[in-house]
Amino acid sequence: MHQKNKTLGEFIIENQSAFKYTSGELSRLINSIRLAAKVVNHEVNKAGLVDIIGDAGDQNIQGENQQKLDVYANLKFIQTLTNRNIVCGIASEEEDSFISINSQDENHQNKYIVLIDPLDGSTNIDVNVSVGTIFSIYRRVTPIGTPVTIEDFLQQGNQQVAAGYVIYGTSTMLVYTTGCGVNGFTLNPAIGSFYLSHPNMEFPADGKIYSVNEGNYIHFPLGIKNYIKYCQMEEDDRPYTSRYIGSLVSDFHRNMIKGGIYMYPKSSKMGNGKLRLLYECNPMAFLAEQANGKASDGFTRIMDIQPTELHERVPFICGSRNMVEKAEEFMRKYS
Ligand code: P6P
């Protein structure tokens, strides 16, 4: 069990040797994400304030042109990852195609690529609901010394070397895994350091919370409809509680702590659901499995899906293992 209250920096150094690829680069990569998270956190936390100050003109209080926060977050993560000269490629929800990084990287010598949703749930900012950044890290598969290709980004989720999220909520946390469990770090804004507050995070095998946008109910597959009715029945430990924040990171985080299931199924309106495989579902699935939870599209393990496009969407069911397996049972029975 990791000792609480150590800083993220101390934790990374102590656990660097446990990581099979360790060369310090991944540690530097996690550190660059830490820095970007603090910069974005500062901007997200004063979003309302900036709106007030923004009335004074087009400038925000740093004198920068007012930008949509997800565009701002995208820029900050890309700048930080590029300036640290650690990655050879980046893909982002905010970028149509992947970005080949060769700034100070003499002939593409860096080994890692990052896929990121810089500010998931950003529409919630206007109503002061928590949002998050989601990231996924792989080693490149094309030869070092050449520019990255789409092949480096279309790897199965089971090849991830690290994944995590930042949740900008009542407190700001960085939660990540390198394949050795899931650990959560809380930012102390007064000094700008992240402290290990949630060591070895795990999904309870069972939970009593289900998270789904029930406004889409009539469009869901029969298996999902019947699973939702199962959650609502007066029987055994049910009915469960329905909690849906509309922010994947927030619903996932609460379910991991309390136990629960999150579903964004396919529907007659969205044939493959809404969530993106590469920079939403795969990183959350890696975290879920590292926390003894489960993640599937209702039939197939998320991390075994072979991606074909950078921004492809998949149906997503994720959370407490026994709840996901019950939902999969309904999907098989009524498919
Ligand atoms: P809906 C945010 O846009 C997001 O990608 C997830 O964070 C969230 O769970 C989901 O979409 C909300 O989508 O269609 O229910 O509003």
Q: Say if residue 263 is in the same domain as residue 326.
A: yes
Which of the four pLDDT bands, split at 50, 70 and 90, describes residue 58? Answer: very low
Domain assignment of residue 54, given as a range: 3-198
Transcribe 268-283 into DSSP letters: SSSBTBSSBIIIIIHH
Give domain status of residue 285, yes or no. Answer: yes
Q: Is 234 within the bounds of a domain?
A: yes
Tens digit of each residue's pLDDT (9 = 90 or more) over 180-223:
999 999 999 999 999 999 999 999 999 999 999 999 999 999 99
Residues β-bridged to residue 172 = 168
Q: Of all protein residues, whose CA lies closest to atom 3 belonging to ligand 1?
A: 121
The band of 85, judged by pLDDT with boundaries at 50, 70 and 90, is: confident
In a domain, 179, yes or no: yes
Q: Same domain for 99 and 179?
A: yes
Q: What mean pLDDT do residues 301-314 have?
A: 97
- Report the percent of the chain where pLDDT is more than 70: 90
Is residue 191, in this structure, part of any structural domain at all? Answer: yes
Residue 203 lies in a domain: no
> Poorest-confidence range of 62-66, 168-172, 184-188, 263-267?
62-66
- Cα 247 to averaged position of ligand 1 atoms, centre (Å): 6
Pairing of strands 261-264, 131-139: unpaired
**Would you state the pLDDT for residue 1?**
67
Question: How many domains does the chain fold into?
Answer: 2
Residues 194 and 234 in one domain: no
Q: Tell me which of 148, 179, 198 is where a domain ends.
A: 198
pLDDT digits (tens, 9 = 90+) for 105-127: 567 788 999 999 999 987 787 78
Could you tell which of 127, 212, 264 is best to mutate to test the pocket of ligand 1, judged by most ligand atoms within 8 Å of the CB?
264
Gap from CA of 215 to ligand 1 centroid (Å): 12
Q: Which residues pair with 195 in a beta bridge?
A: 7, 186
* CA 221 to centroid of ligand 1, rounded, Å: 18
Quick one: average pLDDT of 87-104? 89
From 198, 227, 258, give the residue that closes a domain.
Answer: 198
Q: How far is the CA of 212 from the centre of ligand 1 (A)?
A: 10
Closest ligand 1 atom to residue 250 Cα is: 7
Judge if 163 and 225 occupy the same domain: no
Tell me: do 60 and 116 sit in the same domain.
yes
Q: Is residue 290 part of a domain?
A: yes
Question: Is the overall model pTM greater than 0.85, yes or no?
Answer: yes
Q: Are residues 116 and 259 in the same domain?
A: no
- Give the distance (Å) from ligand 1 centre to CA of residue 63: 32
Q: Is the predicted pLDDT of residue 257 greater than 50, yes or no?
A: yes
CA distances from 6 to 12, 65, 193, 257 (A): 10, 38, 10, 20
pLDDT, the chain, mean? 90
- pLDDT at residue 178 above 90? yes
CATH number of the domain encompassing residue 19: 3.30.540.10
Of 48 and 321, the structure prediction assigns the larger pLDDT to 321
Q: How confident is the model at residue 61 (pLDDT cuts 50, 70, 90)?
A: very low
Residue of 104 and 24 predicted with greater confidence? 24
pLDDT greater than 60 at residue 57? no
Beta bridge partners of 177: 163, 182
Residue 50 clears pLDDT 60, i.e. is over it: no
Note whether 174 and 301 are same-domain residues.
no
pLDDT at 62: 37
Q: What is the pLDDT of residue 19?
A: 67
Beta strands in 189-297 (DSSP E): 193-198, 209-211, 241-242, 261-264, 294-296
Q: Whose alpha carbon is nearest atom 1 of ligand 1?
A: 246
Asked if residues 291 and 256 have their Cβ atoms less than 8 Å apart, the reply is yes
Residue 204 belongs to some domain of the structure = no
**Strand 162-168 to 131-139 pairing:** antiparallel
Q: Would you say residue 44 has pLDDT above 90?
A: no
What's the confidence (pLDDT) of residue 66? 43
* pLDDT at position 64: 43
For the CA of 251, the nearest atom of ligand 1: 9
Which protein residue has the closest C-alpha to ligand 1 atom 12? 246
